[in-house]
Structure 1
Amino acid sequence: MRLNVVITLLTLAAPAFAGGQFNDWRSGDLVFQESRSPQAAAIRAATGSAYTHMGIIEVTEGGIFVIEAGRVVGATPLRDFIARGTSGEYSVYRLANLEPEAAVAVLAASRSYFGLPYDIFFRLAPDAIYCSELPHYAFRSIGRNLGTVQTLGTLAINHPEARGIFLSRWQDHPDCADIDQQACWNVIQSQEIVTPASIAGDAALEQVFSNMKP
């Protein structure tokens, strides 16, 4: 009996990072994954992180959804979101002391971007939205500035995979009209961005689960 008690206590004390599935979802949680999109390798190379996509959790009576910037901004069933990630792995982060009313406000702010297209240029401008830009705006609506605004030039965008994805799109870049490729590359390097990695690294967030391999 005493041995069973010890085993039970050890199990309860075990961290949530060991694997398996997470069951304590709350609205306003942030879920990160390594996506399998063509640009994921470029994001990973530029940021040095496996977090290449993310979204905001919404818990409803009809199920759990991820509000995300996919092809367009919208709500995706959690199961589908997880299935799209590499090996079905993900990490969950939570803002400490996020009140239910504040979570409702965050979700309302994120829903105000529904239908906007994905921003393949990663510009910090609300006419098109990339994945980590969405929570950056949504949490700003409650006075929380999650993540660090960086310039692309401070990331490892000269890595061949990262540079390749940007230069493959330069001619359509909104800020590169009437300039050549080199001038556009200079513009791109000074462009501001909020990455998934910088949001995950925000001191206000706590990782409450991960089954992603180190």
Structure 2
Amino acid sequence: MRWSVLVAVWLGAHGAVAAPRLEEGLRTGDIVLHTSRSRQSQFIQAATESPFSHVGMVEVTPKGAWVVEAVQPVQRVSFAKWKARGVKGRILVLRPKALSDAQKQQAVDTAKTHLGKPYDWHFGWGDEAMYCSELVRKAYAQGAGVEYGKMERLGSLKVAGLKKPMRERYGAKVPMDLELVTPASLATDARLEVVHSDFPSVR
């Protein structure tokens, strides 16, 4: 028996066969989160007390997996590229529990109608510009009738120590009553099943 065959048999017998790549287990409509390397990431993490500062939606095609995300501008990138941009390559993958494949595809299709729009640096709720978690919540609300995550007032987040970056973004009058949805609130939504996580604790 050839040495390569013997090795394969030994590995199989000892449960050491490599697991399929993460990308192969993705499904259209999966919600993916990571810790962004952007300048504002540290502020989002501090305000939400969560490592999750960026989120996107997966679309699986015959040419591989892609992520629709709201950056500057809203775009569709390969999953491999999206994952590599996260700190240490760590990723959280969530999957809606009670939606059909058709509903999830419709949500992704809805997200893609916003491709090319600018990033919303002020976290507003209009459709002329988008931030990452807004795109995900709106795509599922409009495409599948489900609102994931929750709307929170800016002032209800842990922003006491972020006065300088908030003044830089909003000026002297910071809109503490502004309602927004955060990546952290999506990460803790019980209607989303954790199918993969590289983070030590999620929920």
TM-score norm. by structure 1 comes to: 0.82
In the alignment, is the contact (CA less than 8 A) between 2:23 and 2:65 conserved in 1?
A: no
| 1:169 maps to amino acid | R
Report the counterpart of residue 52 of structure 2 in structure 1: 51
In the alignment, is the contact (CA less than 8 A) between 1:116 and 1:127 conserved in 2?
A: yes
In the alignment, does 2:198 pair up with 1:197?
A: no
| 1:144 maps to amino acid | V
In the alignment, does 2:115 pair up with 1:128?
A: no
Q: Secondary structure at the match of 2:125?
A: coil
Q: Secondary structure at the match of 1:76?
A: strand
| 1:166 maps to amino acid | M
| 2:166 maps to amino acid | F
| Superposition CA RMSD, Å | 2.1
In 2, Cα distance between the equivalents of 1:5 and 1:170? 58
In 2, Cα distance between the equivalents of 1:66 and 1:145? 19
Report the counterpart of residue 177 of structure 1 in structure 2: none
Report the counterpart of residue 90 of structure 1 in structure 2: 91
In 2, Cα distance between the equivalents of 1:136 and 1:91? 17
In 2, Cα distance between the equivalents of 1:211 and 1:22? 14
In the alignment, is the contact (CA less than 8 A) between 1:22 and 1:209 conserved in 2?
A: no
In the alignment, is the contact (CA less than 8 A) between 1:65 and 1:77 conserved in 2?
A: yes
Unaligned runs of 5+ in 1: 172-180
**Identity, % of aligned pairs?**
33
In the alignment, is the contact (CA less than 8 A) between 2:94 and 2:194 conserved in 1?
A: yes
In 1, Cα distance between the equivalents of 2:52 and 2:84? 15
Per-residue CA deviation, residues 149-199 of structure 1 (Å, 9 max, x unaligned), is 01000001112xx3322211224xxxxxxxxx1xx12xx110000000111
In 2, Cα distance between the equivalents of 1:5 and 1:90? 28
Map of 1:1-214 to 2, 5 A cutoff? Answer: 8=15, 21=22, 23-141=24-142, 142-159=144-161, 162-171=162-171, 181=172, 184-185=173-174, 188-214=175-201
Per-residue CA deviation, residues 80-111 of structure 1 (Å, 9 max, x unaligned), is 11111001110100101321111121011101
In 2, Cα distance between the equivalents of 1:22 and 1:49? 24
In 1, Cα distance between the equivalents of 2:42 and 2:34? 13
In 2, Cα distance between the equivalents of 1:53 and 1:165? 18
In the alignment, is the contact (CA less than 8 A) between 1:121 and 1:166 conserved in 2?
A: no
Cα deviation for residue 213 of structure 1 reads 4.0
In 2, Cα distance between the equivalents of 1:157 and 1:57? 31
- Count of aligned residue pairs for this structure pair: 188
In 2, Cα distance between the equivalents of 1:209 and 1:108? 23
Q: Secondary structure at the match of 1:115?
A: coil
Cα deviation for residue 5 of structure 1 reads 9.8
In 1, Cα distance between the equivalents of 2:165 and 2:123? 11
In the alignment, is the contact (CA less than 8 A) between 2:26 and 2:60 conserved in 1?
A: yes
